[in-house]
Structure 1
Amino acid sequence: MSGDGRIARGDATRRLVLRRAVDVASVDGLEGLSLGRLATELELSKSGVFALFGSKEELQLATIDAALEIFRAHVVTPARAVEPGLPRLRAVCEKWLDYFQQRIFPGGCFFFNVGAEFDARPGRVHDAVAAASGAFAAFLRETVDEAVALGHVGADAEALAFELHALGRAANADAVLHGTPDFYILARRVIRARLDAVARA
Structure 2
Amino acid sequence: MNATATTGKRAATRELILEHAYELARAEGLEGLSIGVLAQDVGMSKSGVFAHFGSREDLQLAVLEAGQLRFLKKVKWPALKSPRGLPRLRAIVANWVEWAQEYRNGCVLLTAAGEYDGREGPLHDAVTRQQAGWREEMCRAIGHAIENGELDAGTDPGQLAFEIYSLMLGLHHDAGLFGFEEARRHTLAGFERLLSSYRPDPSQRTAP
Which residue of 1 is the match for residue 121 of structure 2?
A: 123
User: Quick one: which of 132, 135, 141 aligns to 2:133?
Assistant: 135
Q: SS at 2:82's partner residue?
A: coil
**For the residues of structure 2 that align with 1:119 and 1:148, how far apart are their CA atoms?**
31
Which residue of 2 is the match for residue 71 of structure 1?
A: 71
| Cα displacement (A) at 1:125 | 0.7
| Cα displacement (A) at 1:75 | 0.5
- In the alignment, structure 1 residue 113 sits paired with structure 2 residue 124: no
* Pair 1:192–1:19, CA change in 2 (3 A): farther
Whichever of the two has the greater Rg, that structure is 2
Contact 1:172 1:184 survives alignment (8 Å): no
Give the counterpart letter for 2:116 in structure 1. Answer: F
TM-score, length-scaled by structure 1: 0.90
**For the residues of structure 2 that align with 1:179 and 1:36, how far apart are their CA atoms?**
35
Which residue of 2 is the match for residue 22 of structure 1?
A: 22
Q: SS at 1:32's partner residue?
A: coil
- In the alignment, structure 1 residue 153 sits paired with structure 2 residue 151: yes
Contact 1:75 1:99 survives alignment (8 Å): yes
| Cα displacement (A) at 1:184 | 2.3
Residues 155-194 of structure 1: matches in 2 within 5 Å?
155-176=155-176, 178=177, 180-181=179-180, 182-194=182-194
**For the residues of structure 1 that align with 2:123 and 2:178, how far apart are their CA atoms?**
29
Greater relative contact order, per chain length (Cα 8 Å cut-off, separation 6+): 1
Render the CA deviation track for 1:126-156: whole Å, top value 9, x for unaligned.
1011111221121111111111112122243
Deviates more, 1:87-96 or 1:133-142: 133-142
Q: How many residues align?
A: 198
* Pair 1:179–1:23, CA change in 2 (3 A): farther
* Pair 1:24–1:106, CA change in 2 (3 A): farther
Q: SS at 2:31's partner residue?
A: helix
Provide the alpha-carbon RMSD of the alignment.
1.9
Gaps of 5+ in 1: none
**For the residues of structure 1 that align with 2:139 and 2:38, how far apart are their CA atoms?**
37
| Cα displacement (A) at 1:37 | 1.6
Gaps of 5+ in 2: 203-208
Contact 1:22 1:63 survives alignment (8 Å): yes
**For the residues of structure 1 that align with 2:174 and 2:138, how far apart are their CA atoms?**
21
**For the residues of structure 2 that align with 1:70 and 1:146, how far apart are their CA atoms?**
25
| Cα displacement (A) at 1:53 | 0.2
Contact 2:30 2:108 survives alignment (8 Å): no
| Cα displacement (A) at 1:199 | 4.4
**For the residues of structure 2 that align with 1:135 and 1:150, how far apart are their CA atoms?**
23
Q: SS at 1:115's partner residue?
A: helix
Show structure 1 runs of 4+ deviating over 3 A.
196-201
Determine what percentage of the aligned residue pairs are the same residue. Answer: 34
Give the counterpart letter for 1:162 in structure 2. Answer: F
| Cα displacement (A) at 1:34 | 2.6
Contact 1:114 1:129 survives alignment (8 Å): yes
Which residue of 1 is the match for residue 206 of structure 2?
A: none
Give the counterpart letter for 1:180 in structure 2. Answer: G
Q: SS at 1:31's partner residue?
A: coil
| Cα displacement (A) at 1:198 | 3.6
**For the residues of structure 2 that align with 1:167 and 1:161, how far apart are their CA atoms?**
10
Which residue of 1 is the match for residue 40 of structure 2?
A: 40
